[in-house]
């Protein structure tokens, strides 16, 4: 399994270029792509989103939340902030979902680098 972040999935759908877009294409083609629940929420919150595109997003498997998830998110975010780094709540939620399932996240959002020390695996490297 490989988790997709909204930044890279949107870049892929808009025809952008980049290593992350190539990784998204590979994950989709190999049927390895999954969505953290927050990413699905982010994608579906676009008021201009077509029903067809929303349907495609909803067909992708969504990572289940594991017991103790909310507490782990709080501690993760606290650890990153204590280290003097930026830790947006949505990013912490996404990072913890990936870490709970020990899967990498494809993203072009640089804020996720702040979660690497805590164990988040990022693609592309």
**For the segment 78-104, what is each residue's pLDDT rounded down to a tens digit?**
999 999 999 999 999 999 999 999 999
Token representation of residue 7: 């930044």
> Mean pLDDT of all residues in the chain?
96
**For the segment 51-80, what is each residue's pLDDT rounded down to a tens digit?**
999 999 999 999 999 999 999 999 999 999
Q: Name the pTM for this structure.
A: 0.94
The runs of H, that is alpha helices, within the chain are 6-13, 19-29, 37-44, 51-59, 69-82, 89-100
Checking if the pLDDT of 108 tops 80, the result is yes
CA distances from 28 to 14, 63, 81, 108 (A): 15, 15, 33, 17
CATH class for the region spanning 2-123: alpha beta
Domains in the chain: boundaries:
2-123
CA dihedral 8, 2, 25, 116 (to 10 degrees): 40
Distance CA 88, CA 42 (A): 14
């Amino acid at each position: 399994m490989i988790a997709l972040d909204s930044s890279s999935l949107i870049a892929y759908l808009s025809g952008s270029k980049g290593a992350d877009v190539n990784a998204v294409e590979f994950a989709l083609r190999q049927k390895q792509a999954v969505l953290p629940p927050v990413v699905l929420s982010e994608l579906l919150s676009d008021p201009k989103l077509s029903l067809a595109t929303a349907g495609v997003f909803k067909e992708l498997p969504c990572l289940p939340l594991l017991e103790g998830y909310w507490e782990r998110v709080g501690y993760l975010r606290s650890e990153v902030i204590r280290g003097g780094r930026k830790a947006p709540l949505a990013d912490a939620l996404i990072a913890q979902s990936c870490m709970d399932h020990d899967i990498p996240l494809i993203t072009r959002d640089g804020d996720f680098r702040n979660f690497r020390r805590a164990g988040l695996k990022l693609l592309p490297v």
